[in-house]
Structure 1
Amino acid sequence: MNNGKFFAGLALGALVGSALSCFAHSNRGRKLRRDIYDTIQDLEEDAYDFAHRAKHKAEKVSGEVVEKMSQQAEAVKGKLNEVTNK
């Protein structure tokens, strides 16, 4: 590797790092971090709400399925009794 390229890369990395550090500690950087944190919190709440609604919907659907299966079982049982009593 050429020493010139190495030192150019090192200098470029130092400049970029310095610029990011200055931005991160400025008011705009603090606001950006706060906005990102708020967005993550909102996404977390949305995911919790979605999971909560999905759980309740699954419970409702499973209850409906159990009820329909019970009705069908009773109907089959009734028809079976009719056939066996003839």
Structure 2
Amino acid sequence: MEFRHERVRRLPDGRAARVRYGIGEVEVLGEVTGGDIEVWPDLKLPTGVDALLGVTALEKPGFRVDPKTGRLERVELYLL
């Protein structure tokens, strides 16, 4: 995948971070959607975690995180 673009993101501590990104496919539990895929070189992930998915990467194919259990659940999408 090519990460041809850059943008600035704000970190929780207020610092700005420049990240590279490209357009690609994301598959979540068999559902595929397209979107931006960003590279955060200084992001430290917990052991056993390979990637983080943002809210839009989950919502577009019809998922959300249950705040009580922390598990993914399918949701019905509405067209407005």
TM-score clears 0.5: no
Of structures 1 and 2, the larger Rg is shown by: 1
Structure showing greater relative contact order (alpha-carbon pairs closer than 8 Å, 6 or more residues apart): 2
- Richer in helix (by share): 1
Q: TM-score range by the shorter chain?
A: under 0.3
Structure with greater strand percent: 2
TM-score (norm 2): 0.18
How does the TM-score come out when normalised to structure 1? Answer: 0.17
